[in-house]
Each structure stands twice: as structure tokens, then as C-alpha cells.
Amino acid sequence: MSIPATLAPLEGLLPTLEELYLDLHRHPELSFAEHRTAAELARRLGESGYEVHTGIGGTGVLGVLRNGDGPVVLLRADIDALPVEERTGLEYTSEEHGVMHACGHDMHAAWLSGAADLLAKAKESWQGTLLAVFQPGEERGSGAKTMVEDGLFDIAGKPSVCLGQHVVPGPAGWVLTRPGVIMAGTDALKVVLHGRGGHGSRPETTVDPAVLAASVVTRLQTIVSREISATDSAVVTVGSMHVGTAHNVIADHAELEINVRTFDEQVRAKVLAAIERIVRGEAVVAGCPKEPEITTIASFPVTKNDDEANAQVTEVFKQHFGQGHWLEAPLVTGSEDFSELARAAGARSVFWLTGGLEPEPVFTAIAAGRFEQDIPSNHSPLFAPIPHPTLRTGVEALVVGALHYLGGGS
């Protein structure tokens, strides 16, 4: 059976996938609370003939389809939503106050559900074992690792290759691939600065954590500009700062939350070391009565594609979608925990991007140099991938990629 024959039932499946996508969009669930989402996806896997395992890593779902000897191929979709109040104005807008699928994981789940169903219907065209992984908690950077630690690979063995994709604010119908590093690594840190509180009228009796926090924030901005080579890349952001409760009270502590994004492990280590040095140094200079506390809130690995595997997947995408619907992906400063699966399995991996917005506005904004201003991106309360042709493209990409490794790619 050829790829066109395997994909032939997709036309009839699209209405069901759209229904799934709209339903998941209306009912988003936060990280590790994806109970309704997981139950629906598990139900569909069971109807497609998969051996279904639920509750992996809390709310993770694994579908296993064994089809003779051959490679073990893992397809992954993340399923959690974000604490964002939706402002798209869509008819199928989120019904959960303050929760939204602002990153497109509802689309990811529908893609994998459709691909899993098509591959189950075409078992005569391939051999091996297919693992369909619906992963919770990606937004926290720990969902993949949690599933692995909870025995994901004990169930059906380790895959030889892991494939995944992410919807982006690019033109719908297009796929974007990139060799090597494609997405940044992220570290999120919480810093507690301990001062000595007192009355606003007597600052000389205090160690003011507000002044200390301001010094730390200012000094942190010098890491990228003065400690990282111009040929390297890093971002250091203080996204949250809390200090004090009243205008006439000098607080006894301040809390900062810092976000770091890098593409290289050596740069990453250098930035993290600089943050610790600056925070501790400023505390000493301020005369703090207690050392600051620095803890890691979340950590995402650098997403790096296997060069050979990426070249193979890119070639089959060009053949299937046409050169005119493929682009080389830019380096993305956003982060993913997808590569934790491949790292834990010792497998090759390929992660690509799939456009999800109306092409004309996207190309118009790019031509005018206004892409960042005019096109809502992931995590925006206005981000809303269009169902068609985004659903079709994502399903086809997963099927074509899987069949390349399962021997059904003719």
C-alpha cells in the first residue's frame, strides 16, 4: 500500500478530527490535570485497535500497535493548555475561565489521533511497532520526563526514532524542518532575596530588598551584553518581581522569577553561573543578613534534531507536500521537552514545525516587516490555528514520517 492509499481515508476522517479539535479547544485542561482530554484520546485509540495504557506520569496516554518485526517508532503529541484568558472571539472559544489552548496542543492531539487511526487501518503497508504518546505537562517542562520515569518504555520497549511537530504562526499547509538545534533550552529560576524589614521612615535600620532587587535586575542585563560572545545567543528575562505590602513598610524579602533561553550547553552553563554569581554578590554588597535562595522552577532541554534523520524526513516531506510548501525553520527561542523522550531511549529524533494560520495575512505581514506586530504567536490570547488545512497537513506529516521508518513509504 502506498502513502496515497494510506492517506485516502483522511478525507472522510477530517470532520471527526475537526470535531475533536473544537471539543478540546472548548475544554482546555492545565498541566497534569488533563483528565477529560486523556480519557477521550484513550477512547479513540482503543476504537482504532491500539493496546491502550493510561495514567502514565499522571495523565499520560500510550497507544501501542504491534505489527510484526521491525523498528519501534514513537509519535508524540502534548495535550496541556495554559493559564490564559482567551480573546479570539471564536464560536468554539474556551469554556474554562482563565484557561486556553494558547499553544496549539489541541491541534497536536487531533493530529496524532488522526495519524494513529490511519496507520491502524493500513497495517498491511508497514511492519514494526507504533507508539502513540499523548504527553501531559509539556508547559511545565516535566511531562516527558515524568512519563519516562513512570515506565513509559517498560511497556513496549524503547523506540529507535521519535517524531513530533508543533503548530506555529506560519502559513497553513506548510511544513518547516531544520537540522541540528531547532528550539532553545530554557531554565526558569526563583530567587528569594533576604533583607531586613522596617519602617519606611527609618531606612537606615533596614536592608531594603527592593533596592537590592533593582540592582540585581539591572546587573542581570549585563550577562548577555557583556559576558556572552556576539557569535553566541542567550536571553535573560526577569519576568516576575514581588516585594513589599504597603507604601510605608520596607519589606524583609523580595522574590524574582528569571527565565533563561540558550541554544548551547556551554553558553547555558555560563549564563546560569553568572546569574548565581550576580545574585549572591549583590546580596553581599547590600549586607543581607541571610544568603539568597536560588531554586529551579522548570528546565527544558535544547531541542536538537538528528541530522541524518532530519534530512530523511525533510526529503520525504518535500516529495509529499512539494518544494513549494516546505521552508527551513528558523531557530526558535521557544522551548520543548520532546527531546527528553529520545534522550531517555537513546533514539534519534526529528521535531518539525507546521503552519496553522491563513497564509495571505502571514505573507503580507512578513513582506511589510510587521510579522511580530500583526500575527498572534503561540501563548497569545489571540492565537488560533485554523482547522483547515492545518488538520490535514499535520496528520499527513506524521503518517508520512512514520511510514518512512516503518517501511511503508512508497
Please report the DSSP string for 122-133 in residue order.
TGGG--EEEEEE
Mean pLDDT of 372-385: 97
Across the chain, what does the average pLDDT equal?
97
Partnered with residue 248 across adjacent β-strands are none
Q: Given pLDDT bands bounded at 50, 70 and 90, which one contains residue 1?
A: low
What percentage of the chain reaches a pLDDT higher than 90? 98
Q: Quick one: pLDDT at residue 389?
A: 98
Mean pLDDT of 374-403: 98
Mean pLDDT of 68-77: 97
Same fold, 3-184+302-406 and 185-300: no
Question: 348-357 and 175-177: which strand pairing?
Answer: antiparallel
- Burial 286-296, CB ≥16 within 10 A → b, else e: bebeeebebee
For 275-323, what is each residue's pLDDT tens digit? 999 999 999 999 999 999 999 999 999 999 999 999 999 999 999 999 9
Mean pLDDT of 79-93: 98
Q: Quick one: pLDDT at residue 409?
A: 66
Task: Enter the C-alpha cell of residue 404.
Answer: 518512512
Q: Quick one: pLDDT at residue 219?
A: 98
User: Is pLDDT at 237 greater than 80 in this prediction?
Assistant: yes
Binding residues for Mn(2+): 103, 105, 139, 166
For 9-54, what is each residue's pLDDT tens digit? 999 999 999 999 999 999 999 999 999 999 999 999 999 999 999 9
User: Is pLDDT at 233 greater than 70 in this prediction?
Assistant: yes
- d(CA 261, CA 301) in angstroms, rounded, equals 10
Q: Given pLDDT bands bounded at 50, 70 and 90, which one contains residue 243?
A: very high
Q: Quick one: pLDDT at residue 88?
A: 98
Task: Report the SS3 class of residue 143.
Answer: helix
User: Is pLDDT at 140 greater than 80 in this prediction?
Assistant: yes
Which residue carries 520596607 as its cell? 250
Q: Quick one: pLDDT at residue 56?
A: 98
Binding residues: 103, 105, 139, 166
Cβ-based neighbours of 138, under 8 Å, separated by 6 or more: 31, 78, 79, 80, 105, 144, 336, 337, 338
Mean pLDDT of 96-101: 98
The reported pTM is 0.94
Position 96, amino acid: E
Q: For the domain with range 3-184+302-406, which CATH number is right: 3.40.50.150, 3.30.1490.100, 3.40.50.300, 3.40.630.10?
A: 3.40.630.10
Nearest residue to 152 via CA among 84, 232, 61: 61
| Domain positions in the chain | 3-184+302-406, 185-300
Q: Quick one: pLDDT at residue 2?
A: 82
Nearest residue to 73 via CA among 409, 408, 406: 406
For 358-369, what is each residue's pLDDT tens digit? 999 999 999 999
> Which CATH fold topology does 185-300 show?
Alpha-Beta Plaits (3.30.70)
Mean pLDDT of 180-200: 98
What's the sign of the alpha-carbon dihedral 95, 99, 101, 106? negative
